[in-house]
Chain A
Amino acid sequence: QKEVEQDPGPLSVPEGAIVSLNCTYSNSAFQYFMWYRQYSRKGPELLMYTYSSGNKEDGRFTAQVDKSSKYISLFIRDSQPSDSATYLCAMWAGTYKYIFGTGTRLKVLA
């Protein structure tokens, strides 16, 4: 079983839709959970990070963690064409490295 699993998509939605992106993980040692956005041929850019189970909101973005199910989500409200990118989940277990999911490619259609 992979440490972090993420549906690669692509996911196409109309402008204004609510987008749900998800990752599952197997390593219960993961403590922090990050969502990065990556535009084509660019470096990952941190959107949000969460620690505990529950929700964390930042503008149109909400990150959700369910440690009991080993499941994390990122919701994007009122999606815009500029949100079109690849969204990477990443996890940190207290060592030096991040473990990334494969990324979900999102396309928001105008």
Chain B
Amino acid sequence: EPEVTQTPSHQVTQMGQEVILRCVPISNHLYFYWYRQILGQKVEFLVSFYNNEISEKSEIFDDQFSVERPDGSNFTLKIRSTKLEDSAMYFCASSDSRLALYNEQFFGPGTRLTVL
């Protein structure tokens, strides 16, 4: 069964450093998403991406964040200068259609980011 994969499973970094979280969405999917979940809190939407551009972003997704689809398979989230409060689980998701209908989003296992 196709699935979304994410690497690394756990990333530890120093405050102020840049990190790149990687995702391989399901191969025929066209829409890609990042969510985050701070420990003990709810899953929060960060950004959606379609046709090589951001289609929607939340207020959390400020200038320190960027997303990219560098090739035909990977989807990355870059955090330019990490802060302590960026420590969270980051989930990538993908879906194959949006149109005007419900689009099931399939989630990856997550990358746990720890900022020291």
Residues of A within 8 A of B (CB): 31-32, 36, 41-46, 49, 51, 88, 90, 92, 94-103
23 A-B interface contacts by CB (under 8 A): A31-B102, A32-B102, A41-B89, A41-B110, A41-B112, A43-B108, A44-B43, A44-B91, A44-B107, A88-B43, A90-B43, A92-B103, A95-B56, A96-B31, A96-B33, A96-B98, A97-B45, A98-B45, A99-B45, A100-B35, A100-B42, A100-B44, A102-B41
The listed residue with most B CB atoms (<10 A of its CB), out of A42, A44, A95, A100, is: A44
Not counting A96-B31, A96-B50, A100-B43, a sample of 11 additional A-B residue pairs whose C-beta atoms are within 8 angstroms of each other reads A43-B91, A43-B107, A43-B109, A44-B43, A45-B107, A46-B104, A51-B102, A88-B42, A95-B56, A97-B58, A98-B105
Task: Report the bound CA distance from A12 to B27 in whole Å.
Answer: 39
Complex-state Cα separation, A40 to B99, whole angstroms:
33
Closest to A33 in B: B102
A97-B110 in contact given A31-B102, A46-B104, A88-B43 (Cβ < 8 Å): no
CB neighbours (8 Å) of B105 from chain A are: 98
Note all chain A residues with C-beta closer than 8 A to B31.
96
Instruction: Encode contact with A along B19-53: 1 for CB under 8 Å, 0 otherwise.
Output: 00000000000010101000001111100101000
B-chain residues with CB within 8 Å of residue A36 when the two chains form the complex: 107
Distance of A88 Cα from B91 Cα, bound (Å):
14
Determine if B110 and A96 form an interchain contact, defined as CB atoms under 8 angstroms apart.
no
Whole-angstrom distance between the Cβ of A71 and the nearest chain B Cβ: 18
